Structure 1
Amino acid sequence: MPDFPTAKVRTSLTVPLSFTDGYSVEAKMVTFEGLVDGREHLAVVLGDPGLSPLVRLHSECLTGDVFGSARCDCGSQLREAVERIAEQGGVLLYLRQEGRGIGLYNKLDAYALQDDGLDTYAANVALGLPEDARDYTPAAQMLAALGIHTLDLLSNNPDKAAQLRSLGLDVPTRVPTGVFATAQNLHYLRAKVLQTHHTLPLAELSAG
């Protein structure tokens, strides 16, 4: 049995999505009641999820998702995920976990410390915050409410798969995302590989 409280679907409606590069797709957006953290997380169902859907847990990143910040790869990952999930069938969970759970203002404070040479994890710690404060219990609740118990996870982050498995979900495959390196985010991406073992090819992230 799942090791978390049950949640239920609150609202489900169809929304046409359109991206600045011309890609468009129809999605079903789902809201929930009973999520353990009380936040307004959102499920975006794309295509036909089937028996083993492709799922991405995407943490909200205002700077990357909305403003196209080159300091991270979040906006590019979001755009890629929507198309790949629509092709295979599955769900994108848009989780309100700005800054790996520390919030927008703290994330921008951490950016300032990164400008002084700290990596993204050390900057969080210097602010007296966890390296990564995210708890994926609400994601597990959302998937269960959608009737999803087995999934392929679209992620470079082994912690996401580990947490879902610990909560009773079956995650047989973790599918890596693309590499979206820029001159501005190389230090950030390398830190993710070295500190939290993200499956990104380190050779492609050379500062040279």
Structure 2
Amino acid sequence: MIPTAGSPASIRAELTVPLRADGWATVARVFTFDGLVDGREHLAIGLGSYAAAVHGVPPDGDAPLVRLHSECLTGDVLGSERCDCGPQLREAMVRITEVGGYLLYLRQEGRGIGLYEKLDAYTLQDSGLDTYQANLALGHGADERDYSAAAQMLRTLGVGRLRLLTNNPDKAAQLTAAGLDVAERVATDVHLSAANAAYLTAKERAGGHALDVTTALRYL
């Protein structure tokens, strides 16, 4: 049977993974899943007090801090400064480790259009389009990401109430529509550089992200 957005998922496997980067280190619990609605290989990474088997995590207490992070090979792996994805990923892992929660690493490259099309969009941005206009020019939606699988993953992990680490109101709206209780939206830092200033400005103005790029530019 093909899973739907309301279908339950199950934990396929879980394992402990030690992490280290730039002098920061922790031990994470990585979860894989069966039955996700989009069939992709998304990961949930338990950090801090949630870096344990699901049955070992106390169900009570503060809502976990959760970050939905869409895959970005160029930013996360190669360190590209055309976006803020790499710094956001690092920030999220550090902050979630401090208070406990999950980072969901979602295989939705290029806001859902894929790696090659994202790079095609970059060439259009070099000709003057912003990041959203470039996606539209390629025949895609401005943002094609769907967080139904993320909602499934959280429910499978026993998370019904959460604090969401994001500047993107669409993430909170989609999780709420899926029946999860987003108790708080926690802002991420503004990771501004000369190379991504136009990109962040577009996210603020066209994407409705909670960013104050104008103020950040004063300190660039």
TM-score by length of structure 2 reads: 0.91
Offset of residue 206 of structure 1 = 4.0
Other-structure match for 1:34: 35
In structure 2, the partner of 1:160 is 171
- The one-letter code of the counterpart of 1:142 is M
Q: Deviations over 1:129-177 (max 9, x none)?
A: 1100001000000000000000000000000000000000000200000
Q: Is the 8 A contact 2:82 2:195 kept in 1?
A: yes
Aligned to 2:79: 68
Q: Identify the residue that residue 18 of structure 2 maps to in structure 1.
A: 16
Percentage of pairs with the same residue? 62
Give, in angstroms, the shift of residue 47 of structure 1.
Answer: 1.2
CA distance in 1, matches of 2:138, 2:98: 41
Distance in 1, Cα, partners of 2:83 & 2:170: 19
Q: 1:53 aligns with which of 37, 45, 64?
A: 64
Q: 1:114 to 1:205 in 2, by over 3 A?
A: farther
Question: More displaced, 198-207 or 145-154?
Answer: 198-207
Question: In 1, distance between residues paired with 2:27 and 2:198?
Answer: 35
Counterpart Cα distance in 1 of 2:134 and 2:6:
32
- Paired position in structure 1 for 2:58: none
In structure 2, runs of 5+ residues without a counterpart are 51-60
Question: Which amino acid is the alignment partner of residue 190 of structure 1?
Answer: T
Partners of 1:45 and 1:33 lie apart in 2 by: 17
Shift of 1:204: 2.6
Q: Tell me the distance in 1 between the aligned counterparts of 2:17 and 2:113.
A: 29
Query: 1:37–1:144: structure 2 CA closer, same or farther, 3 Å change rule?
Result: same
- Amino acid corresponding to residue 41 of structure 1 in structure 2: H
Residue by residue over 1:176-205, the C-alpha shift from the partner in whole angstroms, topping out at 9 and shown as x without a partner, is 001110000000000000011101113235
Structure 1: any 5+ residue segments left out of the alignment? Answer: none
Q: Which residue of 1 aligns with 2:214?
A: 203
Q: Following superposition of structure 1 onto structure 2, how do residues 57-136 of structure 1 map, counting pairs within 5 Å?
A: 57-136=68-147
Q: Distance in 1 between matches of 2:124 and 2:13?
A: 40
Q: Please state how far the C-alpha of 1:51 moved relative to its aligned partner.
A: 4.2
**RMSD, aligned α-carbons:** 1.3
Higher RCO, Cα 8 Å, sep 6+? 1
1:193 aligns with 2:204: yes
Tell me how far apart the structure 1 counterparts of residues 215 and 46 of structure 2 sit (CA, whole Å).
32
Of residues 176, 181, 199 in structure 2, which corresponds to 1:170? 181
Aligned 8 A contact 2:192 2:217 in 1:
no
Partner of residue 144 from structure 1, selected from 155, 163, 169:
155
Letter in 2 for 1:113: L
Q: Is the 8 A contact 2:48 2:100 kept in 1?
A: yes
Moved over 3 A (4+): 205-208
